[in-house]
């Protein structure tokens, strides 16, 4: 088997697993994936600018992101197996994490020095205090 054939088979298998785990790929999953990538990238950029880059912290961040998608997959399976709904629980979980990742991107943007409106800064400060 040539490498190209192996790679094609591996991508097809990964797609099959993802389709089973997450259900149909939709705009919510696309937005969540984009938010996760943006959060990780802005987190690395913020750490670099603050001279706090750490491979251990970066690895923990990746583990958290993978776990996030495993939870989304679990919600999709619960939708199908237990609730019999058409993705309502998965959508709720996706929206929760999408908002959470979006807030994290904004926090990272503030750490990088990107100007944010005062109302947004105040809201982020209040959310940080509640953590």
- pLDDT tens track of the chain, all 131 residues? 788 888 888 888 888 888 888 888 899 999 999 999 999 999 999 999 999 988 898 899 999 999 999 999 999 999 888 877 778 899 999 999 999 999 899 999 989 999 988 888 787 777 666 65
Helical ranges in 113-130 per DSSP H: 118-130
Residue 50 CA to residue 2 CA, distance in Å, equals 45
pLDDT at position 131, please? 57
Question: What is the Cβ-side half-sphere exposure of residue 1, based on CA atoms within 13 angstroms?
Answer: 8
**Where do we find the tokens 């990742």?**
101
- At 130 the pLDDT is 62
| CA gap 31, 103 in Å, rounded | 14
**Cβ-based neighbours of 69, under 8 Å, separated by 6 or more:** 22, 36
Looking at residue 49, what is its pLDDT?
A: 92
- pTM for the structure as a whole: 0.82
């Amino acid at each position: 088997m040539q490498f190209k054939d192996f790679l094609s088979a591996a991508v097809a298998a990964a797609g099959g697993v993802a389709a089973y785990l997450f259900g149909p790929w939709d705009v919510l999953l696309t937005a969540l994936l984009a938010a996760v990538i943006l959060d990780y990238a802005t987190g690395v950029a913020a750490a670099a600018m603050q001279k706090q880059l750490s491979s251990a912290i970066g690895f923990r961040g990746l583990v958290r992101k993978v776990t996030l998608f495993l939870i989304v997959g679990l919600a999709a399976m619960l939708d199908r197996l237990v609730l019999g709904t058409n993705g309502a629980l998965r959508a709720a979980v996706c929206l929760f994490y999408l908002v959470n990742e979006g807030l994290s991107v904004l926090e990272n943007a503030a750490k990088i020095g990107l100007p944010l409106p005062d109302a947004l800064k105040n809201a982020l400060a209040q959310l940080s205090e509640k953590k």
